[in-house]
Structure 1
Amino acid sequence: MSSTPAKALASLLAAIACLMPLLPVLLWPGMGILASIALAVIGLAFFASSRKPTLAMVWRGRLPSIAVGMAVGAALAWCIANFVRPLVEGWFGRGIDISGREQVAGNPLVFAITLAIALGSAIVEEVIFRGYVVGWGSHVFGKGFAPLLMLLSSVVFGWAHMGYGMAGAVVTGIAGFVLGTLYLLCDRRVLPPIVAHMTFNAIGATALFMS
């Protein structure tokens, strides 16, 4: 009997821990991601059950995972540039705020640094927002909660990018929804959305450089 309260407490702590990385970016969009990373690392260190679902990478082999990710990332970049971004910017009557990023244009060194940050952030964000929150969360709350967790993480993912303005946050949230859907369709394996996110970011950074 004494094990029942202990199990209930462990489940409660796991539920809190798997959602905690969402809190810093809600309170502090942008730099809050650093606290989110720290909380995810602590969760992975203290909850052995979090590691396998969070870090489940490959879907049907490495090449299929990479190929699907690149295709989705490229398609997402094209759709956002040609349809989603103009539509959202029309709603808000203002464009996405890219102030401070103009120096990327035509500057190979700044472009290289920006690209490295963009690719690294894609890995970190997918592991946290998809692998940790949705992947581990679906083990903690049950598989039936995976779509709800994906929607929650997508909204917070968009909010975390408020540095781009409200239009940028909405566009990023839509991108997060697509990446989250890909994650679920790939049996909660994080490599496809990582590659998709990296492809999307690489296209975006290159577009800034070429502008």
Structure 2
Amino acid sequence: MPSRMSSAASLPARQWLPAIVCLSPLVPAILMPGTGILISILILVVALALFKSARAATLAMVWKKPWLSILVGMVMGGLLAVGTAEVMRPLIEGWLGTNVDTSGLDAVAGNIGIAIFTTVIALASAAIEEVLFRGFVIGWGAKIFGKGAVPLLIVISSASFGMAHAYGLSGAVVTGLIGLALAVLYQLCGRRLLPCIAAHMMFNLIGSVALYYAS
């Protein structure tokens, strides 16, 4: 059976609407960093309700075994958190001459109530963002555009992930690279979400704890 072509120009007419819908959640996320993700989530929910073909690819969860998926994700998330804080963030900030703008999270430091609330939001957003940026855009996108389009989908998804977070220029680059690491993990784990969700949750948990103690 011949492989499906990855070029958008080669898509059959019936695939144009799914192709547009697959990439459309990235638009509000990019144009309105921080708040636009809410519109992106709404588009995601509606698309999953209307397009049966999107559900299996988007929501494929377990890689090999549930416990192994979670363990691999937690280890990856921990390594990514340490590597970002100790290596990647300082390098990017030095290269661009600007700091990652986390001033909007200053209230977390030393405030246990706000820290708990922020952590709950961070953990929930980790799962939702993985479904959106990895499962929906890359997973379903691979079904629409073909396997040959996966590298481009990874780049588009990761860049959009970076721009969707309102942390300034350095923050966009750092977050984009984090998204790239998660996208690679997603691909290596057979495009299954659970390792990525576990990794993203672990990363956000470590970040939330670090913010609380940054007083």
TM-score category (smaller protein): over 0.9
Question: How does 1:123-138 map onto structure 2 within 5 Å?
Answer: 123-138=127-142
> What are the residue-to-residue correspondences of 1:40-51 with 2, within 5 Å?
40-51=44-55
User: 2:90 matched to which residue of 1?
Assistant: 86
Counterparts of 2:17 and 2:30, CA distance in 1: 20
Map 1:1-211 onto structure 2 (within 5 A). 8-161=12-165, 163-211=166-214
Amino acid corresponding to residue 107 of structure 1 in structure 2: N
Q: List, as ranges, runs of 4+ consecutive aligned residues in structure 1 with deviation greater than 6 Å.
A: none
Counterpart for residue 7 of structure 2:
none
Identity of aligned residues (%): 53
TM-fit CA distance, 1:10:
2.6
Give distance in 1, aligned partners of 2:15 and 2:33: 28
Mapped to 2, the partners of 1:93 and 1:148 lie a distance apart of: 29
Displacement after TM superposition at 1:95 (Å): 1.3
Per-residue CA distance 1:156-191 (angstroms, 9 max, x = gap): 100111x21111110000000000000000000011
Structure 1 residue identity aligned to 2:136: Y
Structure 2 unaligned residues grouped into runs of 5+: 1-10
In structure 2, C-alpha distance between the alignment counterparts of 1:26 and 1:97, rounded to whole Å: 17
Q: Secondary structure at the match of 1:202?
A: helix
SS in 2 for 1:101: helix
CA distance in 2, matches of 1:107, 1:143: 47
Cα offset, 1:26, TM superposition: 1.8
CA distance in 1, matches of 2:127, 2:89: 23
Q: Structure 1: which 5+ residue stretches go unaligned?
A: 1-6
What are the superposed Cα offsets for residues 110-149 of structure 1, whole Å, 9 maximum, x if unpaired?
0000000100110110000000000000000111211210
User: After superposition, what is the alpha-carbon deviation per residue over 1:76-116, rounded to whole angstroms, capped at 9, x for unaligned?
Assistant: 00111111000011012221111121111111100000000
Taking the aligned partners of 2:36 and 2:13, their CA distance within structure 1 comes to 28
How many residue pairs are counted as aligned between the two chains?
Answer: 204
Equivalents in 2 of 1:26, 1:175: separation in Å? 16
